[in-house]
Amino acid sequence: MKNTYLTSYLPLFSILLFSLTFSVYGVEVFVDIFKKIGVYPGMREFLSDMQLKLAILILLMVAFFMVFAALKLIAETINGISMLFFSMDSDGELYNRVRTGSMIYFIGGLVSVLSLKSFLGLLIIFVLSSVVYFIYFVYKISPSLSKMGIFGVVGLQVFSWSSLFLTIFFVCLKLYNGVMASLPVMSKVKL
């Protein structure tokens, strides 16, 4: 008998792996920024180089963990809503079919360790893992969907994710422009 809970720990490990890899890259970026703006020597008075990098790593890991956990929560909600609207399954068997898809993100997290020095590489690995999981998700639930149901699931997913990311992008752009306009000192710093 196959135990369906055998891979239940994989989402946590996937989130931890992606958080760690993005944080390791972020430590070097933050150290460079702190050196360029002249804050790094002052921070070194209180902490050694290793302690400072470890503190930045822990703070970034917490931040990335929250972001990836929120993305997982949003993804589960969007998946559940799409199955509610478009599938004929009322027993929850579709959830059991797609649970093994967490292995995709786990493998993506392991592969992301190979790209610690490249933010673009990390981002490509994460996006590729997400696209492969989406294809896997649609493939696994397609037997209980009509053709219009498949189009509905894909359309709802694309609409939900694109509106979420476009909203976040425009809010960040507005915030960035507002901060840069109010800080004339930052215009002199070359990052």
Average pLDDT over the chain, rounded to whole? 89
162 pLDDT more than 50: yes
Please state, in angstroms and rounded to a whole number, the distance separating the CA atoms of residues 44 and 58. Answer: 17
Q: Within 13 Å of residue 188, how many CA atoms lie on the same side as its CB?
A: 4
Residue of 76, 81, 79, 85 whose CA lies nearest to 148: 85
Q: Are 120 and 70 in contact (CB under 8 A)?
A: no
Q: What is the pLDDT of residues 65-85, one digit of tens each?
A: 999 999 999 999 999 898 888
Please state, in angstroms and rounded to a whole number, the distance separating the CA atoms of residues 153 and 52. Answer: 46
3-state helix vs strand vs coil in the chain, percent to 5: 85, 0, 15
Q: Are 82 and 153 in contact (CB under 8 A)?
A: yes
pLDDT recorded at residue 8: 82
Contacting residues for 40 by C-beta, under 8 A, at least 6 apart: 31, 34
Domain ranges of the chain: 10-188
The most distant pair of C-alpha atoms in the chain lies apart, rounded to whole Å, by 66
Q: What is the pLDDT of residues 78-117, one digit of tens each?
A: 998 988 888 887 777 888 888 888 999 999 999 999 988 8
56 pLDDT more than 90: yes
Amino acid at 98: V
pLDDT recorded at residue 87: 82
Please state, in angstroms and rounded to a whole number, the distance separating the CA atoms of residues 188 and 38. Answer: 13
End-to-end Cα spacing for the chain? 58
3-state secondary structure of 43: helix
Residue 46 binned pLDDT confidence (cut-offs 50, 70, 90): confident
- Averaged pLDDT for residues 167-190: 80
What predicted TM-score, i.e. pTM, was given to this entire model?
Answer: 0.85
- Residue 12's CB is within 10 A of a number of other CB atoms, namely 14
pLDDT recorded at residue 63: 96
Q: Over pLDDT 70: what percentage of the chain?
A: 94
